[in-house]
Amino acid sequence: MLNPPTNTVLFLMGPTASGKTDLAIKISQKIKSRLISVDSALIYQGMDIGTAKPDATILSTHPHYLINICKPSDAYSAQDFITDAKAQIELAFNNGELPILVGGTSFYFNALEHGLSDLPESTPGSREKYNQLLKTKGVIALHQDLQKIDPVAAERIHAHDAQRITRALEVFDISGQTLTKLQGKKQGGLNCTIKKIILMPDRSELHQRIQTRFHLMLEQGFIEEVKTLKAKPELHQDLPSIRCVGYRQAWQFLNKEIDEAEMIERSIIATRQLCKRQSTWLKNETEGLTLKAADLEKSVNFIQQ
């Protein structure tokens, strides 16, 4: 087992279905490491199949931190992630481990590396207020409210992005200032060396993996998983957890809004669109090791340089 380089963090990034988890585990078998998830879907308990969460056997032999830390009804912000990730990085350094931050949530990676704007923190009361508004008014009406308050932010935020819409409204509610006005002053970021490995298979290969993986999820009981979630009275379609790709479409299928064939098609298309967004962001990551396929030897040599 190799010792990690001093004061160094590894960002292992890639679009969905690129094989990040497998490579992270292989690296951890060569270099003393702590695996830290950077995924806004894997945080939720009870959402295992549709998020392609590592199974219980893998998690018992190769623990991934920041997985299964929230209920699907909980709010979890980028600031929450930064706080939790920094605590895990500190633990890794104290234990002589390489923190391997592995996942596909670009906003989390960016916030951790560069910091966040100085925005007011959420409160339990404000979170509850906007969760209730989501239920009563719906995400489209809230987006229209945001357009009146902060048209610049409304233009930037998708009309169905419930989490970012409610956060922008909440910021204005708490501070009296718009998200657009408060953004720009960033604080935080990591005070250490960041090495980046970007796993980027060809687009056609990713598309095939996405299709194959979704059909496997169905065989593993994905619809039953969503039925279990749907039976919980505190969960609804506008929550960030239920808006995760696949879950939203399965929820619509169970509501009889779409048939099974359309649910499958929409889920695969939505996952491919997510893959495209992730890939577009990663193309701007020019300082690092980019691999078309997992290469353990190249990865370890890059980390040790």
**pTM, full prediction:** 0.80
DSSP conformation class of 184:
T
The C-alpha atoms of residue 172 and residue 150 are separated, in whole angstroms, by 9
User: What are the φ/ψ torsions at residue 99 (nearest 5 degrees)?
Assistant: -75, 115
pLDDT of amino acid 84 = 97
pLDDT of amino acid 162 = 87
The C-alpha atoms of residue 104 and residue 189 are separated, in whole angstroms, by 18
Tokens encoding 229:
């979630």
pLDDT of amino acid 118 = 72
Nearest to 33 by CA among 69, 8, 67: 8
Tokens encoding 198:
């970007």
Parts of the chain with a pLDDT under 50: none
Task: Give, in degrees to the nearest 5, the angle at Cα 244 between 242 and 246.
Answer: 95
CA atoms within 13 A on the CB side of 169: 22
